């Protein structure tokens, strides 16, 4: 931490700041200029708030120089995290993985058809919510455990992996036998109790960025999961709330290269929630890959006009096929490839 004192700060004020720094465990180096004193605190005390120093009397400005997230920071694993799934699929390597499926699990037939279309298009994960965080308590809330079973059966039939949203701690145990990856929704990114519990499981987690979360907050939330010992974590940019109303959210594409620089964790783009309008999803998916995403989470519904949630942003099956074909052309430009379709792997 660097504390720049106000010019002409009194000796007593300077001493007071030094004492507080020492108390916290900093090794303090003092530089006295003609009018201003700079205090450099070396060391990383486990608990300190830079804001505490910003308001001490005589302080001009205080800056944190070490990152507050130790395990999520790129320096912890400069080579990047690679997550390996039971079928050998890797996220965080050279291949970009596409996850697709409806917003919600609605019925066995809908999921079976979705799985066949998702696999045929070339995606490797089937997405679908069995528990849904809906803005209104009167909206469809999901099929629950029955939905998990339906997802597993359909995914197994078509050689896909399963990702689904976990909304509360009590669902974790219940989901374990049916899923390959937990999804933490945007609304739960700061549900710290849930994050801590997910740190205890040994199954990958994809954590979405909160609706109004800064990148630092995303990384601090990631730290909750990592500090429990679960390192199979990826982050998802899914759009944030801004003043713009032309799209459902504002897809913060810039968060992707920023996160790739700050953290070793794989980063996915979710252009569906990012823009909320079907026809804008493919360009934002392409942009996510161009920006360095390691994967995509995309809503696709066999009949989006009849979807029970997020129909307006769900691709039609043929749009997903067309998108993945384009992604295969784009990926080499950024020295990547799209993971081969299930058929190509099992053939
Ligand atoms: C979803 O993936 O359907 C979902 C609810 O996403 P988010 O948490 O990003 O709103
Ligand atoms: Mn959705």
List, for residues 260-306, the tens digit of each pLDDT value. 999 999 999 999 999 999 999 999 999 999 999 999 999 999 999 99
Task: For residue 44, name the pLDDT band (cuts at 50, 70, 90).
Answer: confident
Domains 2-66 and 83-346 share a fold: no
> Would you state the pLDDT for residue 185?
98
**For residue 88, pLDDT beyond 90:** yes
Do the Cβ atoms of 282 and 298 come closer than 8 Å? no
**For residue 36, pLDDT beyond 90:** yes
**Mean pLDDT, range 126-146, rounded to an integer:** 95
**Mean pLDDT, range 175-193, rounded to an integer:** 98
The per-residue pLDDT of the chain, averaged, comes to 96
Task: For residue 251, name the pLDDT band (cuts at 50, 70, 90).
Answer: very high
From 106, 141, 183, the mutation candidate for ligand 1 (largest count of ligand atoms within 8 A of CB) is 183
Task: Return d(Cα 14, Cα 306) in angstroms, integer.
Answer: 67
The CATH number for 83-346, chosen from 3.40.710.10, 3.30.70.3270, 3.60.15.10, 3.20.20.70, is 3.20.20.70
> Would you state the pLDDT for residue 46?
79
> Would you state the pLDDT for residue 51?
95
DSSP H or E segment with residue 338 = strand 337-338
With a 6 Å cutoff on the Cβ, whether 327 touches ligand 1 is: no
**Mean pLDDT, range 212-228, rounded to an integer:** 97
Task: For residue 43, name the pLDDT band (cuts at 50, 70, 90).
Answer: confident
User: Measured between alpha carbons, how far is residue 32 from residues 8, 9, 93, 230 in Å?
Assistant: 11, 11, 49, 45
Task: Compute the chain's Rg from CA coordinates.
Answer: 23
**For residue 347, pLDDT beyond 90:** no
- DSSP code for 314: P
**For residue 346, pLDDT beyond 90:** no
Do the Cβ atoms of 313 and 248 come closer than 8 Å? yes
Residue 226 CA to ligand 2 centre (angstroms): 26
With a 6 Å cutoff on the Cβ, whether 208 touches ligand 1 is: yes
Task: For residue 68, name the pLDDT band (cuts at 50, 70, 90).
Answer: confident
> Would you state the pLDDT for residue 333?
98
Atom 8 of ligand 1, nearest CA residue: 185
> Would you state the pLDDT for residue 256?
98
Sequence-distant (≥ 6) Cβ neighbours of residue 214 within 8 angstroms: none
Sequence-distant (≥ 6) Cβ neighbours of residue 290 within 8 angstroms: 330, 333, 334
Atom 6 of ligand 1, nearest CA residue: 185
- Output b/e per residue, 260-298; b: 16+ Cβ within 10 A: bebbbbbbbbbbbbbbbebebbbebbbbbbbbbbbbbbb
With a 6 Å cutoff on the Cβ, whether 103 touches ligand 1 is: yes
Nearest to 199 by CA among 233, 171, 248, 249: 233
From 101, 102, 103, the mutation candidate for ligand 1 (largest count of ligand atoms within 8 A of CB) is 103
Atom 4 of ligand 1, nearest CA residue: 185
Residues 283, 287, 290, 292, CA torsion sign: negative
- Output b/e per residue, 226-242; b: 16+ Cβ within 10 A: bebebbbbbbbbbbbee
Domain boundaries, the chain: 2-66, 83-346
List, in sequence order, the alpha helices (H) in the chain: 11-24, 50-54, 108-121, 145-158, 170-175, 192-200, 215-226, 255-262, 271-275, 281-290, 317-330, 342-346
Nearest to 127 by CA among 96, 146, 151, 150: 151
Q: Which two tokens stand for residue 194?
A: 């849930």
pLDDT above 90 covers a percentage of the chain that reads: 94
User: Measured between alpha carbons, how far is residue 65 from residues 3, 209, 288, 347 in Å?
Assistant: 11, 24, 29, 52
Atom 3 of ligand 1, nearest CA residue: 103
Do the Cβ atoms of 268 and 292 come closer than 8 Å? no
Task: Return d(Cα 151, Cα 58) in angstroms, integer.
Answer: 61
Nearest to 47 by CA among 74, 29, 25, 73: 25
Domain 2-66 carries which CATH code?
Answer: 3.30.70.1140
Atom 1 of ligand 1, nearest CA residue: 103
> Would you state the pLDDT for residue 205?
99
Count the Cβ atoms, other than its own, within 10 Å of residue 78. 8
Residue 309 CA to ligand 2 centre (angstroms): 7
Q: Which atom of ligand 1 is nearest to the CA of 236?
A: 9
pLDDT above 70 covers a percentage of the chain that reads: 100
- Output b/e per residue, 108-132; b: 16+ Cβ within 10 A: bebbbbbbbbbbbbbbbbbbbbbbb
DSSP H or E segment with residue 299 = strand 295-299
**For residue 66, pLDDT beyond 90:** no
């Amino acid at each position: 931490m660097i504390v720049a004192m106000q010019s002409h700060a009194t000796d007593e004020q300077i001493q007071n700041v030094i004492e507080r720094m020492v108390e916290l465990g900093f090794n303090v180096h003092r530089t006295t200029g003609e009018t201003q004193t700079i205090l450099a605190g070396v060391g990383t005390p486990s608990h300190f708030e830079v804001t505490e120093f910003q308001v001490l009397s005589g302080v001009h400005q205080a800056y944190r120089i070490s990152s507050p997230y130790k395990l999520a920071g790129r320096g912890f694993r400069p080579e990047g995290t690679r997550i390996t799934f039971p079928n050998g699929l890797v996220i965080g390597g050279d291949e970009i993985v596409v996850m697709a499926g409806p917003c919600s699990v609605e019925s066995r037939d809908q999921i079976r058809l979705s799985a066949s279309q998702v696999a045929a298009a070339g995606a490797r994960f089937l997405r679908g919510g069995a528990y849904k965080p809906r803005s209104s308590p009167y909206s469809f809330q999901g099929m629950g455990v029955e939905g998990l079973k339906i997802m597993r059966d359909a995914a197994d039939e078509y050689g896909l992996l399963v990702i689904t949203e976990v909304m509360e701690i009590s669902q974790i145990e219940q989901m374990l036998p049916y899923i390959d990856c937990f999804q933490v929704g945007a609304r739960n990114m700061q549900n710290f109790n849930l994050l801590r519990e997910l740190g205890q499981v040994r199954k990958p987690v994809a954590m979405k960025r909160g609706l109004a979360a800064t990148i630092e907050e995303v990384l601090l939330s990631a730290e909750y999961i990592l500090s429990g010992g679960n390192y199979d974590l990826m982050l998802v940019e899914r759009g944030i709330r801004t003043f713009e109303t032309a799209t459902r959210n504002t897809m913060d594409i810039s968060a992707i290269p920023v996160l790739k620089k700050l953290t070793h964790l794989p980063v996915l783009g979710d252009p569906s929630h990012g823009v909320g309008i079907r026809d804008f999803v493919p360009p934002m998916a392409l942009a996510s890959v161009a920006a360095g995403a390691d994967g995509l989470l995309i809503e696709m519904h066999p009949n989006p006009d009849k979807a029970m949630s997020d129909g307006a942003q769900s691709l039609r099956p043929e749009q997903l096929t067309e998108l993945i074909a384009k992604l295969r052309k784009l990926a080499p430009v950024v020295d990547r490839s799209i993971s081969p379709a299930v058929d190509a792997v099992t053939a």
